Chains A and B, each alone.
Chain A
Amino acid sequence: MTLNLVTQKQTADSYLQTPEMLASLFESVPAAVVVSNEQGSIVRVNAEVETLFGYDRDELYGRPIETLFPQRFRQIHLGYGHHYHQPPRRRAADAGLELCGRHKEGREFLIDVIRSPLETQHGTLVLSLIRDLSEREPGEALRFHLAALVDSSGDAIIGRTLDGIITSWNKSAERIFGYSAQDAIGKPICMLHTGGREEEELEIRGRLERGETISNCDTVRCRKDGQSIEVSVSISPIFDPLGKLIGASKVARDITERRRMETELEVSRAQAVSSARLSALGMMAGSIAHEINNPIGVIHASASDLMDMVETGSVPMPALQLITARIRRTADRISKIVKSLRQISREGSADPLQRSSAAEIAEQSLELCRERFREHSVRLDVPTIDTSLHVFCREVQIAQVLVNLLQNAFDAVVECAGDKWIRLEVSSREDSVVFAVVDSGPGVPLDLRARIMDPFFTTKPVGKGTGLGLSLSKSIVEEHGGALTLSEMENHTCFSFSLPQGAAKCN
């Protein structure tokens, strides 16, 4: 029995030694086996290779091993193959390199390749054991799918240990930070930190240890080429199945472009606001230049009359009185306009809130509009304003709002036929003072009412309005704790706002 067993074993041993046995063993391995030489040429394949890839073995012999992989993977393989022709002490076979195989007909399928070097007297051969994953359990395909998902993400996805050593690095990480996966894996994450931000890592680590997640934190990191890059970073701790903290995943999004757009938007908004102010002033400028030039003409002419008198040597007292009074009166008129203009053209947003006379603010605003209204035969109706009314405000800004409202009212009525008028009413209501601008125009159409105070909304022709006037006015009034509202007063458009009343001075 024992002998028999020994004999059987001996027989089997001797059989196993035969080349036929080895050949059939090679053929019956339940995986595709490819043997390639130092040049990467295929020297031997088994039957499974033929089944899996659709080639006859004769077609493959002498061909590069890359024939079995899609074009896009070839680079990787060449690199990998090379690895085995390094000094033979690097023997470790690397397992689990999931890839794609390419069938003779062009079809691609998931494979798993295990390679190992084989020293022979004819040189180093590489044995590649290829398994078809597509037929395998879905878990492996899913794993591959997840890996591909990470790689295809537009965000950099980086795995790290708690100590800050990089453990994984996807394609977008490569693109954003400039390091390849080979460069980065195994290196400290700190290499991405720009100078002066090292303490961030300490903070990150502290938070990770407490199990906290850092989400969408905008910061600056450093690329391989030394350039700073603005990124939005989210870092979450990773726990093993036993709940032990083992590392973290870090997702970094390149926000340079977003930042650039934000900055651009901010700049263009500031420009729009400032050009709206300029255009409002520009619209007044013509009237004001006219308004100033007329009195200058009068002063100039009066002066030349005085010179004529001097030249002729005849200076009659009554004429002298008349002319000098005229000069004085006219110069006063100019300085009043200039004062209003100086007030209103100031920025004013940084002025302190002050107790100001409502009547004076109204007068300043009216001064700048009066001439324009008169020239276009628009009647200005201002019921007497109670001089005891005071508001707590930045005077310049409120005057700007009033000029804007008066200007809008003017634009609304100027083309209208018949009686054109604008009324400015200032009244008190409980603890506030209400400024109301009413006009004889056709009114604001119902469908526009909701949008009329939106920035850039305008019904005026190109070049006449920026669509910022009302929205700016609204924000100024709101900054003062008031509200700008559109209502109707006896069928007429009425824009009004209220401001807190400035308490009378305590004596």
Chain B
Amino acid sequence: MQLNNATILVVDDEPDWRSIMSEWFTREGSQVLLAENGAEALKLVRANHVDVVVSDVRMPVMDGITLLKNIKAEDGYKPSVMFMSGFSDIEPGEAYDLGVEALMAKPVERKHLIAAVTRVLAARDDLWRLAFSDKPAALLDAVFGSLAAALSQGDLAFGRGGFRIHSPRNLREGPVELLLDFKDDHRKVTGQGIIRWIAPAEAQIGVEITHIDDRHRAWIVSLTAANGSLSFIPRTPSFAAGQVMKALKQT
């Protein structure tokens, strides 16, 4: 979906911010809805078709996290929610696990915001076709016996926009080159992503996928789409893996 036929709901308790956002999205041709807290936003989501919710985290009456949980509880996937926070009110790991599809901090560049919302609206298959123009310097590689084994052992778990991987690699948040070798499946997946969080103590890394090679893109899309959880990138090992396994068995 394109921005010019999408409906964006901006949730923020700051009137000036709402009017700026409204102006920016209107300029892109989007329909814009405004709410000053989570409770108002929830009413609008229930009453209207909304494609993306761009919400502040700290707000009176109902905060962004509660709004997100309510939206996910009602209809898992839609609308997509992205957080635009004035302060580090939520850990990235937790936010992506709860299903947030993008996490941005104020102040924000208009073009970055527009790009992020565009990505959220895009279909995975289209989105993951294009690689970064600059090849990332960092490499995240892993060799697995099979996908099924990796999932059941908790070494890998897919969310709807990325995966959590057990890796001893010492990497930082940011763009990364991907090389996932599933030996028994004879699949060597190459691609790119952005490391969204790292948990060094547990040797866990959370990656948002941005590109997958042509041969394996459909396969990875099916794995992420099969994910019954609401996570964008799962944080906790157990539950997402189980659901993917169930979905895999059904196909």
**A and B form one complex:** yes
Mark A residues whose CB is within 8 Å of B: 286, 289-291, 293-302, 304-305, 308, 326, 330, 374-377
Interface residues of B in 88-147 (CB under 8 A from A): 89, 105-110
Residue from the list B24, B60, B87 in contact with A377, Cβ < 8 A: B60
Binds A, one of B12-20, B73-81, B178-186, B208-216: B12-20
Whether B58 and A296, one on each chain, are in contact in the complex, defined by CB atoms closer than 8 angstroms, is: no
Smallest beta-carbon distance B89→chain A, Å: 7
CB of B245 closer than 8 Å to a CB of A = no
In the complex, what distance in Å separates the CA atom of A459 from the CA atom of B94?
Answer: 30
Query: Hey, which chain A residues are within 8 Å of B17, CB to CB?
Result: 294, 297-298, 301
Interface centre among B24, B63, B86 (most CB of A within 10 A): B86
Residue in chain A with minimal CB distance to B106: A297
Query: Hey, which chain A residues are within 8 Å of B59, CB to CB?
Result: 375
Q: A290-B58, A377-B61 are in contact. Are A298 and B16 (CB under 8 A)?
A: yes
CB of B23 closer than 8 Å to a CB of A = yes
In the complex, what distance in Å separates the CA atom of A308 from the CA atom of B110?
Answer: 10
In the complex, what distance in Å separates the CA atom of A314 from the CA atom of B136?
Answer: 39
Question: What are the 8 tightest A-B residue pairs by CB atom distance, in nearest-first order?
Answer: A297-B106, A300-B107, A290-B87, A293-B86, A297-B107, A298-B16, A301-B20, A290-B86
Query: Hey, which chain A residues are within 8 Å of B105, CB to CB?
Result: 293
Smallest beta-carbon distance B23→chain A, Å: 7
Query: Hey, which chain B residues are within 8 Å of A300, CB to CB?
Result: 106-108
Whether A290 and B89, one on each chain, are in contact in the complex, defined by CB atoms closer than 8 angstroms, is: yes
Whether A293 and B106, one on each chain, are in contact in the complex, defined by CB atoms closer than 8 angstroms, is: yes
Whether A297 and B60, one on each chain, are in contact in the complex, defined by CB atoms closer than 8 angstroms, is: no
Whether B110 and A304, one on each chain, are in contact in the complex, defined by CB atoms closer than 8 angstroms, is: yes
Whether B60 and A294, one on each chain, are in contact in the complex, defined by CB atoms closer than 8 angstroms, is: no
In the complex, what distance in Å separates the CA atom of A92 from the CA atom of B56?
Answer: 101
Whether A298 and B61, one on each chain, are in contact in the complex, defined by CB atoms closer than 8 angstroms, is: no
Whether A375 and B87, one on each chain, are in contact in the complex, defined by CB atoms closer than 8 angstroms, is: no
Total A-B residue contacts, Cβ distance less than 8 Å:
62
Q: Is the interface of B mostly helix, strand, loop or mixed?
A: loop
In the complex, what distance in Å separates the CA atom of A308 from the CA atom of B108?
Answer: 15
Query: Hey, which chain A residues are within 8 Å of B63, CB to CB?
Result: 375
21 A-B residue contacts at CB 8 Å? Answer: A290-B58, A290-B86, A291-B86, A293-B86, A293-B105, A294-B106, A296-B106, A296-B107, A297-B17, A297-B86, A297-B106, A301-B17, A301-B20, A301-B108, A302-B20, A304-B109, A305-B23, A305-B110, A330-B16, A375-B13, A375-B59
Residue in chain A with minimal CB distance to B12: A294
Residue in chain A with minimal CB distance to B113: A301
In the complex, what distance in Å separates the CA atom of A375 from the CA atom of B89?
Answer: 12
Q: A304-B110, A374-B60, A377-B61 are in contact. Are A294 and B20 (CB under 8 A)?
A: no
In the complex, what distance in Å separates the CA atom of A201 from the CA atom of B59?
Answer: 74
Query: Hey, which chain A residues are within 8 Å of B86, CB to CB?
Result: 289-291, 293-294, 297
Whether B87 and A301, one on each chain, are in contact in the complex, defined by CB atoms closer than 8 angstroms, is: no
Query: Hey, which chain B residues are within 8 Å of A308, CB to CB?
Result: 110
In the complex, what distance in Å separates the CA atom of A375 from the CA atom of B61?
Answer: 7
In the complex, what distance in Å separates the CA atom of A396 from the CA atom of B114?
Answer: 45
In the complex, what distance in Å separates the CA atom of A301 from the CA atom of B17?
Answer: 8
Query: Hey, which chain B residues are within 8 Å of A290, CB to CB?
Result: 58, 86-87, 89
Query: Hey, which chain B residues are within 8 Å of A304, CB to CB?
Result: 109-110
Whether B87 and A298, one on each chain, are in contact in the complex, defined by CB atoms closer than 8 angstroms, is: no
Residue in chain B with minimal CB distance to A330: B16
In the complex, what distance in Å separates the CA atom of A295 from the CA atom of B105?
Answer: 13
Whether B14 and A298, one on each chain, are in contact in the complex, defined by CB atoms closer than 8 angstroms, is: yes
Query: Hey, which chain B residues are within 8 Å of A375, CB to CB?
Result: 13, 58-60, 63
Whether A301 and B58, one on each chain, are in contact in the complex, defined by CB atoms closer than 8 angstroms, is: no
Query: Hey, which chain A residues are within 8 Å of B23, CB to CB?
Result: 305
In the complex, what distance in Å separates the CA atom of A8 from the CA atom of B14?
Answer: 135
Residue in chain A with minimal CB distance to B61: A377
Residue in chain B with minimal CB distance to A373: B60
Residue in chain A with minimal CB distance to B111: A304
Whether B14 and A294, one on each chain, are in contact in the complex, defined by CB atoms closer than 8 angstroms, is: yes
Smallest beta-carbon distance B235→chain A, Å: 22
In the complex, what distance in Å separates the CA atom of A57 from the CA atom of B107?
Answer: 106
Contacts beyond the supplied A290-B58, A377-B60: 12 A-B pairs with Cβ under 8 Å: A289-B86, A289-B87, A294-B86, A297-B107, A300-B107, A301-B17, A301-B107, A301-B110, A302-B20, A304-B109, A375-B63, A376-B60
Smallest beta-carbon distance A468→chain B, Å: 26
Query: Hey, which chain B residues are within 8 Å of A374, CB to CB?
Result: 13, 60
Residue in chain B with minimal CB distance to A291: B86
In the complex, what distance in Å separates the CA atom of A295 from the CA atom of B106?
Answer: 9
Residue in chain A with minimal CB distance to B107: A300
In the complex, what distance in Å separates the CA atom of A339 from the CA atom of B139?
Answer: 47
Query: Hey, which chain B residues are within 8 Å of A326, CB to CB?
Result: 16
Query: Hey, which chain A residues are within 8 Å of B110, CB to CB?
Result: 301, 304-305, 308
In the complex, what distance in Å separates the CA atom of A305 from the CA atom of B110?
Answer: 9
In the complex, what distance in Å separates the CA atom of A326 from the CA atom of B108?
Answer: 17
Interface residues of B in 37-82 (CB under 8 A from A): 58-61, 63
Query: Hey, which chain B residues are within 8 Å of A376, CB to CB?
Result: 60
In the complex, what distance in Å separates the CA atom of A298 from the CA atom of B106?
Answer: 9
In the complex, what distance in Å separates the CA atom of A300 from the CA atom of B110?
Answer: 10
In the complex, what distance in Å separates the CA atom of A304 from the CA atom of B24?
Answer: 11
Residue in chain A with minimal CB distance to B105: A293
In the complex, what distance in Å separates the CA atom of A374 from the CA atom of B56?
Answer: 14
In the complex, what distance in Å separates the CA atom of A289 from the CA atom of B106?
Answer: 11
Query: Hey, which chain B residues are within 8 Å of A286, CB to CB?
Result: 87, 89
Smallest beta-carbon distance B189→chain A, Å: 38
Smallest beta-carbon distance A483→chain B, Å: 35
In the complex, what distance in Å separates the CA atom of A298 from the CA atom of B59?
Answer: 16
Query: Hey, which chain B residues are within 8 Å of A293, CB to CB?
Result: 86-87, 105-107
Smallest beta-carbon distance A306→chain B, Å: 12
Whether B108 and A297, one on each chain, are in contact in the complex, defined by CB atoms closer than 8 angstroms, is: yes
Query: Hey, which chain A residues are within 8 Å of B87, CB to CB?
Result: 286, 289-290, 293
Residue in chain A with minimal CB distance to B23: A305
Interface centre among A286, A294, A299, A326 (most CB of B within 10 A): A294
Query: Hey, which chain A residues are within 8 Å of B13, CB to CB?
Result: 374-375
Residue in chain A with minimal CB distance to B109: A304
Smallest beta-carbon distance A378→chain B, Å: 9
In the complex, what distance in Å separates the CA atom of A290 from the CA atom of B14?
Answer: 11
Whether A305 and B20, one on each chain, are in contact in the complex, defined by CB atoms closer than 8 angstroms, is: yes
Smallest beta-carbon distance B207→chain A, Å: 27
In the complex, what distance in Å separates the CA atom of A297 from the CA atom of B15?
Answer: 12
Residue in chain B with minimal CB distance to A308: B110
Smallest beta-carbon distance B107→chain A, Å: 3
In the complex, what distance in Å separates the CA atom of A289 from the CA atom of B17?
Answer: 16
Smallest beta-carbon distance B95→chain A, Å: 16
Query: Hey, which chain B residues are within 8 Å of A330, CB to CB?
Result: 16
